[in-house]
Amino acid sequence: MGEQPGRVWVFGDYRNYFQNRVTLQLIGKAKELAQEIGTGVTVLVVGERVRQYAMEYVAHGADAVMVAEHPDLSEYRVETYTALVAEWVETYGPEILLAGATAFGRSFFPRLAKRLRTGLSADCVDLHIDPETKLLVQTTPAWGGELLAEVITPHHRPQMATVHPGVFEERPHDPEATGGIFYPEVKIRKEERIRVLRRRTRRSRKIRLEEAQVVVVGGRGLGSKAQFEMLEELAELLDGEVGATRPAIRAGWTEEERLLGQTGKSVRPKTLISVGTSGALQYTAGILGAGTIIAINRDPHAPIFKISDLGVVGDAKSVLPILLEELRKRL
Ligand SMILES: Cc1cc2nc3c(=O)[nH]c(=O)nc-3n(C[C@H](O)[C@H](O)[C@H](O)COP(=O)(O)OP(=O)(O)OC[C@H]3O[C@@H](n4cnc5c(N)ncnc54)[C@H](O)[C@@H]3O)c2cc1C
């Protein structure tokens, strides 16, 4: 294949390309990491008829793309994919290997890490290079989310991590960008023990939390579904999306897909309004990328105020109707 330029690798999860931007977000971050260790970014694309994605990844910052195209790669098969990517890793020796913490990344990467006998930090909320050791520092919630741990992989390679969608920013699409596209030899293992018999797509109403410019989040402090509905109106007036903390979801006030935080989604809106949420670390891990955070809580000592830019100490039951009334007048 010749010289392939990047030793920071990103696994290209192209399925649902237009909705799921996590690979593009990872390329953006991988560029920074690669610069710190004096290398480039290579994206891996595995599937059938997938070369169009290679061009997209170059336009979003990849220095190189390694493509494996084969009819036997059309469906994700864990054993085939693991064997293929493990062989590439052993041949080309990347320093870092990243994937989105999507259902796919969460299933594939542990298997791959085990095969490569290296470590894996799952669901990272940040990554950086230690300036002294040049090791990848992988920040991930630990101890049930009680704290954020910084994990390093000093002895084994590659340093592997999966990263929450929405944590990093993608680079803008640059149609002029250039990068090498490589087609290494594809060896398919045939002794797959799992076969995909049928694939069904679940239809659901589009929830675009990760792309929303305004996100309005409701927590336990809202107290009832009726109060939560006020929040939905607030989001609608601001052309935003509704998010929720775990207790609000448990209470059945909204859909599971709206969960924000360590076990839910990470968002990066311009403005985020957090109502009746205490500011637990497991929740705030998902909102730290927001531009401006406005919190409404009746407890002046609630931890949410420590990370908010604007705090309103008051009862949501009285603050929300006033806010809604004002907005209805203006819009
Ligand atoms: C392993 C693990 C993973 C987890 N993952 C997540 C996750 O991904 N996302 C998540 O959200 N949680 C997660 N949790 C739960 C998390 O620890 C918190 O329990 C949760 O975020 C708290 O939600 P809350 O802020 O809505 O509720 P609470 O912590 O109960 O806070 C309610 C707040 O509302 C205020 N309040 C009460 N009444 C009013 C009122 N009338 N007006 C205004 N304010 C009022 C109170 O002062 C309080 O600060 C996880 C927990 C564990 C152990």
C-alpha distances (whole Å) from 324 to each of 220, 269, 298, 313 are 20, 20, 18, 17
pTM value is: 0.63
DSSP state of 117: T
Question: Distance from the CA of 296 to the center of ligand 1, in angstroms?
Answer: 13
Question: Distance from the CA of 223 to the center of ligand 1, in angstroms?
Answer: 12
Q: Is the CB of 262 under 6 A from ligand 1?
A: yes
Q: What is the per-residue pLDDT for 203?
A: 57
Pocket test for ligand 1, best of 228, 254, 259, 263 (most atoms within 8 A of CB): 263
Q: What is the per-residue pLDDT for 216?
A: 97
Q: What is the per-residue pLDDT for 2?
A: 47
Query: How does pLDDT run along the chain (331 residues), one tens digit per residue?
Result: 445 569 999 999 988 766 678 999 999 999 999 999 999 999 999 999 998 999 999 999 999 999 999 988 988 888 899 999 999 999 999 999 999 988 889 889 999 999 999 999 998 989 999 999 999 999 998 776 568 899 999 999 999 999 988 889 999 999 999 999 999 988 887 766 777 777 776 655 567 898 899 999 999 999 999 999 999 999 999 999 999 999 999 899 998 889 999 888 999 999 999 999 999 999 999 999 999 999 999 999 999 999 999 999 999 999 999 999 999 888 6
Closest CA to 196 of 83, 73, 111: 73
User: Alpha-carbon distance 308 to 305, whole Å?
Assistant: 5
The pair of structure tokens assigned to 214 is 């305004």
Which tens digits make up the pLDDT trace of 271-282?
Answer: 999 999 999 999
User: Alpha-carbon distance 225 to 245, whole Å?
Assistant: 14
Q: What is the per-residue pLDDT for 191?
A: 66
Domains and CATH numbers, the chain: 6-182 (3.40.50.620), 209-330 (3.40.50.1220)
